Amino acid sequence: MEKIILEKKQGNATILTGLNPNSKKLYLESYGCQMNFSDSEIVASILDKHGYQTTRMYEESDLILLNTCSIREKAETTVRTRLRSFNKLKSQNPNLIIGMLGCMAERMKDSLLEEEKLVDLVVGPDAYRDLPKLIKEVEGGQKSVNVLLSREETYADISPVRLDNNGVSGFISIMRGCDNMCSFCVVPFTRGRERSRNPLTIVAEAKELYDKGYKEVTLLGQNVDSYRWNISKKGQILNDEMPTTNFAQLLELVALVAKDMRVRFSTSHPKDMTDEVLETIQKYHNICNYIHLPVQSGSSPMLKKMNRGYTREWYLERIKSIKKIIPGCAISTDIITGFCDENEEDHNQTLELMKEVEFDFSYMFFYSERPKTLAQRKYDDNIPTEIKKRRLQEVIALQREHSIKKNSACVGKIMEVLVEGPSKKSPLEFSGRNSENCKVVFPKENSKKGMYVNVLIEDFTAATLKGKII
C-alpha cells in the first residue's frame, strides 16, 4: 500500500516520443503505481534499440507486454482478464508474443506459463535488460522466464524515453526495492532489497528533462526517505574517497537544477522522515509543499501488527513537525481498513486520527491478503468483507468532508498552477496542479501547456478547484 495507485491511469498504453520508424510493433500496458509506469518507460527504451516501435493498437502489435501490480487482488484479476482477451488474437496472428512484466511475475509465473498458458514470457522488475534475449528465445519456440531479483540493478545508465501524453511532468526513479517488510505488503518480495542510484545520474536525468521542456519531476521510490548514497544502513561511510548523499541532500541537488522546475517525491515513510527533509522543502520554493505520508491505521496495536515501525503518537509528531516547518503543506495518506484482528476501537482510532490531521486527500482500501506476506503466514484474515467495506465507506465519507473543507477554504485565493494539458470535460479548459498537488481547472485564454499561471479560485468540488487566470 506504500505506492500511490492512480485509478485513472490503470491499463494505459505506453507511447513513446522521438522514436525512429521501426518494423516491429510493441503494445505495452501498465498497471499499479507510478514506479510501474516509470519502469514501462525503461522497458520501451530498451526495446526501441532492438527494433520495436510502440503502438496504441494492440491488434497490430507483434509483442504485447503487461506491466503488472500485485499490491491488490483486484489488479491481478484485471490482468488475468486482459491476458485472456489478448490470447484470442493468437488465432489470427500465431507469431504474436505475449509477456508479463513486473510485480506479478515471480509469484504467478508457473500458473500463467504452464497451467493457464496465457503468456510466452515472464520478466521480473530487475530483469528488463534481458528482454531482447528472452524474446529471441520465444521466437525460437521456447517459453522464457527471468524473475531473479538483484541487489545492484537501478537502470541508472538507461535514459527513459518519456510518455507522450504530457511532456510537462516526468518521473525519475531514485531507488528500487524496499527493506521495511510491512506485514501486509508484497513489494519486498516482488522488487527486492533497497538500492539507491548514484545522485549524479539522478541530477543528470533531471537536467535532461528540463532541457527537453519538462517543468516538473517526481522522485520515485518505495521509501524515498531511505535513499542513501555511499552510506550504510547503520550510517557508516562506505568509501572515504566519494561524497555521501542522503535524501534531503538529493532533494536540494535536484531543486538547484532549475528554479522554475518543480520537484515532487513519493513515497515517504513516517519512521524515516527527518526534519532535515522538511527544512529542505521549506528552503526551496520549487520543492512542492506536498507530502504523501502513509499512516495505514490510527491504532498503535494495528501498526505493530502491520510491522510499520512507528506508533500513533510517533506519526502525529511527524505531522506536527510538517505543519510547523512547512505551514500550509498539503498532506495525503494511505489507509487500510479491516486488517487482521482490527476491532471497532482500532477503526475508531483511525477515524479520530483523520479528524486530528485532516488530510487533504487519501488513498483508501480495505485489506486484501497477499500471498507470501508476513500477514498471510502469521495472521488470520478474519474480518468479514462486509465489515471491511463498511469501515472503508466510513473512512471515505470522513475524508470527503475534510477534502471539501480544505478546498472550500481555497475560494478567493490566487494560486500558481502549472498547466499540464486540456481538461477532460471541456476543450475550452486547461487543467494543472498547484504546489499542494490539488487539481485546478480554468479557461484556457492565452495560456499554454507547460506555463505557470496565476489562477483565482472561484469554485470547488471534493477533488478539484475551479477558477480563472488573472
What per-residue confidence (pLDDT) applies to 15?
55
Cβ neighbour number for residue 411 with a 10 Å cutoff: 14
Q: Where on the phi/psi map is residue 170: left (φ > 0), alpha (ψ -120 to 50), or beta?
A: beta
pLDDT of 18 > 50? The answer is no
pLDDT exceeding 70 applies to what percent of the chain? 93
Give the mean pLDDT of 299-304.
98
Domain end (from 246, 268, 288): 288
Give the pLDDT score at 300.
98
Determine, yes or no, domain membership for 98: yes
The answer on 100 and 196 residing in a single domain is no
CB atoms within 10 A of CB 409: 11
The domain in which residue 120 lies consists of: 7-146
pLDDT tens figures, 112-161: 887 778 899 999 999 999 999 999 999 999 989 998 888 788 888 887 76
3-state secondary structure of 371: coil
Percent over 90 (pLDDT), the chain: 71
pLDDT at residue 12 in the model? 58
Instruction: Determine the 3-state secondary structure of 66 from DSSP.
Output: strand
**How many whole angstroms separate alpha carbon 344 and alpha carbon 311?**
18
pLDDT computed for residue 444 by the predictor: 96
* Average pLDDT over every residue of 195-215: 95
Q: Return the sign of the alpha-carbon dihedral for residues 21, 24, 25, 29.
A: negative
Place of cell 480554468: 442
Q: Under 8 Å CB-to-CB from 177, ≥6 apart: which residues?
A: 149, 188, 191, 192, 193, 194, 195, 222
CA 106 from centre of chain: 20
- pLDDT tens digits for range 312-370: 999 999 999 999 999 999 999 999 999 999 999 999 999 999 999 999 999 999 999 98
In whole numbers, what is the pLDDT of the chain averaged over residues?
A: 91
What distances in angstroms separate CA 27 from CA 86, 99, 114, 321, 380, one per listed residue?
11, 10, 23, 45, 40
76 & 170 share domain? no
Do residues 94 and 216 share a domain?
A: no
Q: How far apart are CA 54 and CA 24, in angstroms?
A: 9
* Residues 85-123: tens digit of each pLDDT: 998 898 888 899 999 998 888 778 888 887 778 899 999
Domain boundary among 258, 288, 318: 288
What integer is the mean pLDDT of 368-382? 93
What is the reported pLDDT for 187? 86
Whether residue 83 is contained in a domain is answered as yes
Is there a single domain that holds both residue 170 and residue 115? no
Q: Minimal CA–CA distance to 357: which of 306, 305, 302, 319?
A: 319
C-alpha 176/C-alpha 191 separation (Å) is: 7
Among 28-37, 177-186, 258-267, 307-316, name the one with the lowest average pLDDT: 28-37
What is the pLDDT at residue 21? 54
Secondary structure (DSSP) of 244-268? -EEHHHHHHHHHTT-TTSEEEEE--
Q: What is the pLDDT of residue 14?
A: 57
CATH number for the domain including 141?
A: 3.40.50.12160
User: What does the pLDDT average to over 236-255?
Assistant: 95
pLDDT value at residue 38 = 85
The Cα 266–Cα 222 span in angstroms is 8
Position 372 in a domain: no
* Residue 307: how many other CB atoms lie within 10 Å: 16
Q: Is the pLDDT of residue 214 over 60?
A: yes
Instruction: Report the pLDDT value the prediction gives residue 441, as an integer from 0 to 100.
Output: 98
Residue 100 and residue 65 in contact, taking contact as beta carbons nearer than 8 Å: yes
- Cα 438 from Cα 355, distance rounded (Å): 20
Copy the grid coordinates of residue 427.
476543450
Inter-axis angle of helices 247-255 and 199-211, nearest 10: 30
Same domain, 275 and 188: yes
Residues 118 and 219 in one domain: no
CATH number at residue 424: 2.40.50.140
CA separation for the pair 68, 78 (Å, rounded): 10
Residue from 459, 333, 327, 310 nearest 398 by CA: 333
pLDDT band at 191 (very low <50, low <70, confident <90, very high): confident
Strands (E), 338-451: 361-366, 414-422, 429-433, 439-443
For the stretch 28-86, pLDDT in tens is: 998 877 888 888 988 998 998 889 989 989 999 999 999 988 767 777 788 888 999 99
Q: What is the pLDDT of residues 406-465, one digit of tens each?
A: 999 999 999 999 999 999 889 999 999 999 999 999 999 999 999 999 999 999 999 999
Mean pLDDT of 181-189: 91
